[in-house]
A and B are shown apart, each in its own frame.
Chain A
Amino acid sequence: MATLLEVRDLTTRFHTLDGVVHAVNGISYTLEEGQTLGIVGESGCGKSASVLSVMRLIPEPPGKIAAGQVIYRGQDLLKLNESQMQHIRGKEIAMVFQDPMTSLNPVLTIGRQISEALIVHMGMTQKQAYQRTLELLNMVGIPQADSRYGDYPHQFSGGMRQRVMIAMALACMPSILIADEPTTALDVTIQAQIIDLVKTLRDRLGMAVIWITHDLGIIAGLAEKVIVMYAGFIVERGDVDDIYDDPRHPYTLALLKSLPRVDRSSKERLATIPGLPPDLLSLPPGCPFAPRCAYVIERCRQENPRLEIVDSHHEIACWVDVGTGRER
Chain B
Amino acid sequence: MTQYIIRRLLQAIPLLFIISLILFILMRNTGDPLATMGGRRLTRPEDRERLARQFGLDKPIYVQYLYWLIGNDWTKIDMDGDGIPETPGTRKGVLRGEFGTSLVIRGKPVSTLIWERLPNTLLLMITTEVVIIIFSIIIGVYSALRQYSVIDHLVTTVSFVGYSMPIFFIALASMYLFAVNFKKWGLPYLPTVGMFDPQIGKTPAQVALHMVLPVFSMALISIAGYSRFVRATMLEVMNEDYIRTARAKGLPNFTILFIHALKNASLPLVTIIGLDIPMLLGGAIVTERIFAWPGMGRLFLDHVSRADTPVVMGILMLISVAVIVFQLITDIVYAWLDPRIRYT
Chain A interface (Cβ < 8 Å from any Cβ of B): 55, 57, 59, 82-83, 85-91, 94-95, 97, 99, 102-109, 116-117, 120-121, 152, 154, 165, 168
B252 touches A120 (CB 8 A): yes
Residue of B239, B245, B248 near A105 (CB, 8 A) is: B245
Q: Tell me the complex Cα distance, A85–B255, Å.
A: 16
B250 touches A97 (CB 8 A): no
Q: Tell me the complex Cα distance, A85–B338, Å.
A: 31
Residue of B240, B251, B259, B260 near A86 (CB, 8 A) is: B251
A108 touches B250 (CB 8 A): no
Q: Which residues of A contact B241 (CB under 8 A)?
A: 97, 99, 102-103
Q: Tell me the complex Cα distance, A103–B340, Å.
A: 16
Q: Tell me the complex Cα distance, A82–B250, Å.
A: 10
Cβ distance B242 to chain A, nearest Cβ, rounded Å: 4
A107 touches B247 (CB 8 A): no
The 5 closest A-B pairs by CB, nearest first: A90-B250, A89-B250, A90-B249, A102-B241, A152-B339
- Given A97-B245, A116-B251, do A102 and B263 touch, yes or no (CB 8 Å)? no
B330 at the interface (CB under 8 A from A): no
Task: List B91-130 residues whose CB lies under 8 Å from chain A.
Answer: none
A57 touches B248 (CB 8 A): yes
Most B-side CB within 10 Å, residue of A55, A103, A121: A103
Give 27 A-B contacts (CB < 8 Å), ordered by A residue: A55-B248, A57-B244, A83-B252, A86-B250, A89-B248, A89-B250, A90-B251, A97-B245, A99-B241, A103-B244, A105-B242, A105-B260, A106-B264, A106-B338, A106-B339, A107-B264, A107-B338, A108-B263, A109-B339, A116-B255, A117-B250, A117-B251, A120-B251, A120-B255, A121-B250, A152-B340, A154-B339
A89 touches B247 (CB 8 A): yes
B interface residues, how many (CB within 8 angstroms): 24
Q: Which residues of B contact A88 (CB under 8 A)?
A: 250
B246 at the interface (CB under 8 A from A): yes
Q: Which residues of B contact A168 (CB under 8 A)?
A: 245, 249
A102 touches B240 (CB 8 A): yes
Task: List B251-269 residues whose CB lies under 8 Å from chain A.
Answer: 251-253, 255, 259-260, 263-264, 267
Q: Nearest chain-A residue to B266 (Cβ)?
A: A107
> Residue-by-residue, is B207-231 near A (CB-CB < 8 Å gives 1, otherwise 0)?
0000000000000000000000000
Q: Tell me the complex Cα distance, A95–B252, Å.
A: 17
Q: Tell me the complex Cα distance, A1–B47, Å.
A: 108
B322 at the interface (CB under 8 A from A): no
Cβ distance B121 to chain A, nearest Cβ, rounded Å: 34
Cβ distance A209 to chain B, nearest Cβ, rounded Å: 15
Q: Nearest chain-A residue to B243 (Cβ)?
A: A105
Q: Tell me the complex Cα distance, A117–B249, Å.
A: 6
> Residue-by-residue, is B61-84 near A (CB-CB < 8 Å gives 1, otherwise 0)?
000000000000000000000000
B264 touches A94 (CB 8 A): no
6 additional A-B pairs beyond A90-B249, A108-B259, beta carbons within 8 Å, are A59-B239, A89-B250, A107-B267, A107-B337, A107-B339, A117-B251
Q: Nearest chain-B residue to A59 (Cβ)?
A: B239
Q: Nearest chain-A residue to B261 (Cβ)?
A: A105
Most B-side CB within 10 Å, residue of A91, A108, A121: A108
Q: Tell me the complex Cα distance, A105–B339, Å.
A: 11
Q: Which residues of B contact A107 (CB under 8 A)?
A: 263-264, 267, 337-339
Q: Tell me the complex Cα distance, A154–B342, Å.
A: 12
Q: Which residues of A contact B250 (CB under 8 A)?
A: 85-91, 117, 120-121
A105 touches B340 (CB 8 A): no
Q: Tell me the complex Cα distance, A108–B264, Å.
A: 9
Cβ distance B302 to chain A, nearest Cβ, rounded Å: 46
Q: Tell me the complex Cα distance, A83–B340, Å.
A: 33
Cβ distance A200 to chain B, nearest Cβ, rounded Å: 22
- Given A97-B245, A102-B242, A105-B245, do A86 and B252 touch, yes or no (CB 8 Å)? yes
Most A-side CB within 10 Å, residue of B239, B247, B260: B247
> Residue-by-residue, is B138-156 near A (CB-CB < 8 Å gives 1, otherwise 0)?
0000000000000000000
B340 touches A154 (CB 8 A): yes
Residue of B239, B242, B267 near A104 (CB, 8 A) is: B242
Residue of A57, A87, A99, A154 near B247 (CB, 8 A) is: A57
Q: Which residues of B contact A89 (CB under 8 A)?
A: 247-250
Q: Tell me the complex Cα distance, A121–B241, Å.
A: 22
Residue of B247, B248, B253, B260 near A108 (CB, 8 A) is: B260
Q: Which residues of B contact A57 (CB under 8 A)?
A: 244, 247-248
Q: Nearest chain-B residue to A107 (Cβ)?
A: B263
Cβ distance B251 to chain A, nearest Cβ, rounded Å: 6
A90 touches B248 (CB 8 A): yes
Cβ distance A54 to chain B, nearest Cβ, rounded Å: 11
Cβ distance A282 to chain B, nearest Cβ, rounded Å: 26
Residue of A82, A116, A152 near B249 (CB, 8 A) is: A116
Q: Tell me the complex Cα distance, A165–B242, Å.
A: 11
Q: Which residues of A contact B337 (CB under 8 A)?
A: 107
A105 touches B252 (CB 8 A): no
Q: Tell me the complex Cα distance, A114–B181, Å.
A: 57
Q: Tell me the complex Cα distance, A202–B25, Å.
A: 77
Q: Tell me the complex Cα distance, A163–B252, Å.
A: 24
Q: Which residues of A contact B264 (CB under 8 A)?
A: 105-107
Q: Which residues of A contact B239 (CB under 8 A)?
A: 59
Cβ distance A94 to chain B, nearest Cβ, rounded Å: 7
Q: Tell me the complex Cα distance, A5–B253, Å.
A: 26
Q: Which residues of B contact A102 (CB under 8 A)?
A: 240-242
> Residue-by-residue, is B190-214 near A (CB-CB < 8 Å gives 1, otherwise 0)?
0000000000000000000000000
Cβ distance A136 to chain B, nearest Cβ, rounded Å: 13
Residue of A94, A99, A116 near B248 (CB, 8 A) is: A94
A103 touches B249 (CB 8 A): no
Q: Which residues of A contact B338 (CB under 8 A)?
A: 106-107
Q: Nearest chain-A residue to B263 (Cβ)?
A: A107
